Every structure is written in C-alpha cells, then in structure tokens.
C-alpha cells in the first residue's frame, strides 16, 4: 500500500471557482473549528454535532492525524479580491485491509461536505475524484461510503460519479 505524508501542507488539488481558487490540503489541528462548522451545517449534522465540548473532537482529530491509514482533508477558498482564505470543504478518507476480495484493501469515504457557497461548481465532484484516484494509488479494490437515506440529492450526486447503491447499510448507535 502506497502512503503519503499526511502532514504535508502542499495543495493536493487546485480548482478555479467563482470568486477565487479552491485548494485541497491535509487538515491541521487549527482547522478543527471550521471542520466542525461544516459538519454541523445541515439538518442532520446540526442535530448530531455538539461543539460545546471540543475534547472528544480533539481526541478524534489526534487519532486520525497519527494514523497514516486515515486522511482528513480540507478545502480552502482563496478569494480573488484578496479578502483572505477560508475553509469551505472537508472529507475523511480511510484505508481498510480486508480478507474478502482476495485480501484487498478498500477505501472508506466519510463526512464529505462542501460549503453552500461552492455547491454546484464541481468542487464536490473534484474531491470525490481525488479520493478515488488516491484510493487506486494505494491499491484499493473499491471505494465505499454511506449516506443517510434522507439525503436524496447526495445519492444523485454520488451516482453521477459512478458510485452504485449496491448494499443496504445498517448501523447500531452505541
């Protein structure tokens, strides 16, 4: 399995968008408040994220950052009018070994979020395509994700990118 340096601040993807330039990079601890803002910026996220205590999020961030099998990525928008750079997107990509499929690795895509100001500008598609390419580079035989049944627009988005709803997911809240 090929690995990359998760501490590298180099831009992994650059995209011209309305209002500036979008850059994908590895997340840093200082990005955590903006990542949490993105995760909570919809009906489902606002009901499950509680940022009144950052300790559990900081612990999770540290675990992700310490493990090369997990990437936490952020997208920042550098505005054309030089008003600054702000975080506008995020996702997590994890690499899982398995015995099935001849011992193949699989990639798990989680928490894909694009700020409302950039939706419809192909940012989400570019991020998912980057994740697919990175998964191939790391020798994965498939990329999988879950998306809530109520997110019908997200289902259409992923289907346009070639993903198929091939399995029924099940969860148990612990």
Give me the DSSP letters along the chain.
-----TT--S-SEEEEETTEEEEEEE--GGGHHHHHHHHTSSHHHHHH--TT--HHHHHHHHHHHH-TTEEEEEEEEEETTSS-EEEEEEEEEEEEE-SHHHH-EEEEEEEEEE-GGGTTTTHHHHHHHHHHHHHHHTTEEEEEE---TT-HHHHHHHHHTT----S-------
C-alpha to C-alpha distances, 97 to 1, 62, 143, 151, nearest whole angstrom: 10, 21, 12, 28
Report if residue 8 sits inside a domain: no
Q: In this predicted structure, what is the pLDDT of residue 56?
A: 94
C-alpha to C-alpha distances, 10 to 6, 18, 33, 73, nearest whole angstrom: 10, 22, 21, 11
- Domain total of the chain: 1
Q: In this predicted structure, what is the pLDDT of residue 47?
A: 62
CATH code (residue 18): 3.40.630.30
Q: In this predicted structure, what is the pLDDT of residue 116?
A: 84
Report if residue 35 sits inside a domain: yes
Question: Residue 28: which domain range?
Answer: 13-160
Report if residue 29 sits inside a domain: yes
Q: In this predicted structure, what is the pLDDT of residue 130?
A: 97
Report if residue 7 sits inside a domain: no
Q: In this predicted structure, what is the pLDDT of residue 48?
A: 73
14 alpha carbon, distance to own chain's centre? 16
Q: In this predicted structure, what is the pLDDT of residue 4?
A: 44
Report if residue 169 sits inside a domain: no
Q: In this predicted structure, what is the pLDDT of residue 46?
A: 57
Q: In this predicted structure, what is the pLDDT of residue 2?
A: 36
Report if residue 114 sits inside a domain: yes
| Per-position pLDDT tens, the chain of length 174 | 334 444 445 889 999 998 899 999 999 999 999 999 999 887 676 567 777 889 999 999 999 999 999 999 999 999 878 678 899 999 999 999 999 999 999 999 999 999 988 888 899 999 999 999 999 999 999 999 988 888 888 999 999 999 999 988 888 889
pTM over the 0.85 mark: yes
Report if residue 132 sits inside a domain: yes
Report if residue 153 sits inside a domain: yes
Q: In this predicted structure, what is the pLDDT of residue 51?
A: 75
């Amino acid at each position: 399995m090929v690995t990359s340096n998760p501490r590298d601040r180099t831009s992994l993807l650059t995209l011209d968008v309305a209002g500036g330039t979008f850059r994908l990079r590895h997340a840093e601890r200082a990005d955590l408040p903006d990542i949490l803002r993105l995760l909570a910026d919809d009906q489902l996220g606002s009901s499950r994220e509680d940022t009144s205590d950052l300790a559990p999020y900081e612990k999770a961030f540290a675990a992700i950052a310490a493990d090369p099998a997990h990437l936490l990525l952020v997208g920042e928008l550098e505005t054309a009018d030089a008003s600054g750079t702000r975080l506008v997107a995020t996702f997590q990509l994890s690499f899982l070994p398995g015995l099935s499929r001849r011992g193949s690795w699989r990639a798990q895509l989680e928490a894909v979020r694009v700020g409302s100001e950039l939706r419809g500008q192909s940012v989400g598609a570019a991020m998912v395509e980057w994740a697919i390419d990175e998964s191939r580079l790391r020798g994965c035989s498939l990329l999988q994700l879950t998306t809530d049944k109520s997110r019908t627009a997200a289902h259409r988005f992923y289907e346009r990118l070639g993903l198929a709803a091939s399995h029924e997911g099940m969860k148990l809240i612990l």
